[in-house]
Amino acid sequence: MFSRILKYLPFFSDAEVPYTVTARPDTGLYSAKLGIWLFLASEVMLFGGLFSAYIFLRIGAEPGYWPSGLLNVPVGTANTAVLIASSVTVVLAWAALKMRQLAKYKFYMAITILCGVLFLAVKLSYEWPAKFNHFGIFVRQSAASKYEEFLGNKHLSETGQAPRWEISGHLLDAPKGSPYAEQAHHNAEHFAHETHRHDAVTEADDDYVIQLDPVNADPDSKENDRPHFLPRPLSSKIAVIKAADVESASTFAPRHSTYFATYFLITGLHGLHVLGGVLVFLYLWLPIKGGTKLYQTNPEHLANRVEVAGLFWHFVDLVWIFVFPIFYLL
């Protein structure tokens, strides 16, 4: 049955094209290597377009509308180290194949795959979900004075810093009909023991109630000039914000701001590239026709495949080397 379906697929009808394994003498390249470099050129332009968008939007952002310091730097640094380590091991895997040491290849490739999986696991289980638990409200500038105790704009302007318009933390109550009402209810129950405010959800119908991040709990403090709050626990202080004073309100989802939009799009696309790389490595690691079985018939071909996939992997690393500073550090 399976072979009857396969019969209709075109896998065996290719014309015999030269230079699939050996290099063409005058270019010094086997074809796949040239192809991956061209593909990476297009990838440079793809991420280049996204990074240009980041620069364009960041430069164009009004003061106080481009958050910084929101991401967990230690975790990001650890993930950077994981990716760099995997870049080393993939080269070791390739070198092992070139020296025809299959066991060593399998070992290093396994580490590479594990590193990729670990990177994705951190993203999926911690970094991205942490954003969706947080809620930010940009208050209208005309109403900002009412919330000065959470914004600290007097302190910021005295010290020559950009103003702050956002109040963030965990949402405990949302106005009636808000798409976030359910999340607020859930949070209110979950965090009640922290806030000791069992009455938070009983406020009026048009209020947002937020258990504050440290930055809004103590906005005049010098150490809160840059938020840095994701690793820090929330304060037990609460802010109540009238819906009429709200400019925009959202979880730290893509729709929150152009900052999170670029963050999720670029890290998401990068994550897809990591996933793609891991799947290809898995394919080259498993004992199947295109993987380590190929070693028995044409070890050089397998080495070429690893080299090409490795080039892609280095590129994915390189993208992260740009992503990490622009989102985590700057």
Partner 1 sequence: MATTASSTAGSHVAGSHHEAHHGGHDDHHHHELNFLQKWVFSTDHKVIGCQYAFCGLVFLFLGFLMMLVMRWQLANPGVPVPVVGNFLRGAFGPVVMTDAGALTASGYNVFGAMHGTIMVFFGIVPLAVAGFGNIVVPLQVGAPDMCYPKLNMASFWSFFTSGVLMLASFFVPGSAAKSGWTAYPPLAGIADLPADSSVWLNGQTVWLVAMVFNITGSLLGSINFISTIIQLRAPGLTWMRLPFFVWAQFVTAFLLVLAFPPLEAASFMQLTDRVFGTSFFMPTGLVVGQALGQTWSGGGSPILWQHLFWFLAHPEVYVLILPAIGIVAEVVANNTRKPLYGYKAMVYAIFLLGFLSFIVWAHHMYMTGMGAKVAAFFQITTIMISVPSVILLTALLLSLWGGSIRFNAPMLFATAFLPMFGIGGLTGIPLAFNAVDLFLHDTYYVIGHFHYVVAPGTIFGLFAGVYYWYPKITGRKLSEFLGRIHFWGSLITINGIFFPMFIQGMAGVHRRWYDGGVTYEQLAGPVLHWNKFMTVSAGLLALFQLPFIWNFFSSFWLGEKVGRNPWNATTVEWDTPTPPPHGNFDKPVEVYRGPYEYSVPGAPVDFIPQTQRP
x/- letters, 135..164, toward partner 1 (CB under 8 A): ---x--------------------------
- What are the C-alpha distances in Å from 240 to residues 126, 136, 154, 170, 174? 28, 13, 20, 12, 10
Out of 2, 3, 5, 14, point to the residue binding partner 1 (CB under 8 A): 14
Q: Of 280-299, which residues contact partner 1 (CB under 8 A)?
A: none
Size of the site for partner 1 (CB under 8 A): 52
* Cross-strand partners of 138: 166, 248
Tokens of residue 149, six digits? 């105790």
Please state the closest distance from residue 110 (CB atom) to partner 1, in A.
Answer: 28
183: Cβ contacts below 8 Å, ≥ 6 apart: 135, 171, 174, 251
What character string, x for contact with partner 1 (CB under 8 A) and - otherwise, covers 250-269? Answer: x--xxxxxx--xx--x---x
Among 5, 7, 222, 297, binds partner 1 (CB under 8 A): 7
Restricted to residues 178-207, the positions that interact with partner 1 (CB under 8 A) are: none
**End-to-end distance of the chain based on CA atoms, in angstroms?**
57
Q: Which is nearer to partner 1, 38 or 84 (CB)?
A: 38
Dihedral (C-alpha) 6, 7, 13, 19: value to the nearest 10 degrees? 30
DSSP 36-87: HHHHHHHHHHHHHHHHHHHHHHHHHSPTTSS--S-S-HHHHHHHHHHHHHHH
Shortest reach from residue 230's CB to partner 1, in Å: 20
Site string for partner 1, 30-49 (x = CB under 8 A): -xx-xx--xx-xxx-xxxxx
Q: How far is the CB of 108 from partner 1 (least distance, A)?
A: 28
CB nearer to partner 1: give 40 or 92. 40
Query: Smaller CB distance to partner 1: residue 91 or 246?
Result: 246
Please name which of 15, 115, 49 lies closest in space to residue 266, comparing C-alpha atoms.
Answer: 49
| Strand pairing category for 135-139 and 246-251 | antiparallel
CB of 52 to partner 1, least distance (A): 7
Residues 46-105 that bind partner 1 (CB under 8 A): 46-50, 52-53, 56-57, 60-62, 65
Q: Which residue, 152, 154, 84, is CA-closest to 119? A: 84
Tell me if 281 sits within 8 A of 109, measured CB to CB: yes
Closer residue to partner 1 (CB): 45 or 78: 45
* Cβ nearer to partner 1, comparing 12 with 160: 12
Contact indicator for 25, 297 with CB cutoff of 8 Å? no
Note whether 183 and 131 are within 8 A (CB): no
Binning the chain into helix, strand and coil, the percentages to the nearest 5 are: 60, 10, 30
> Does 315 help bind partner 1 (rule: CB under 8 A)?
no
Residues of this chain that interact with partner 1 (CB under 8 A) are: 7-19, 24, 27, 29, 31-32, 34-35, 38-39, 41-43, 45-50, 52-53, 56-57, 60-62, 65, 138, 248, 250, 253-258, 261-262, 265, 269
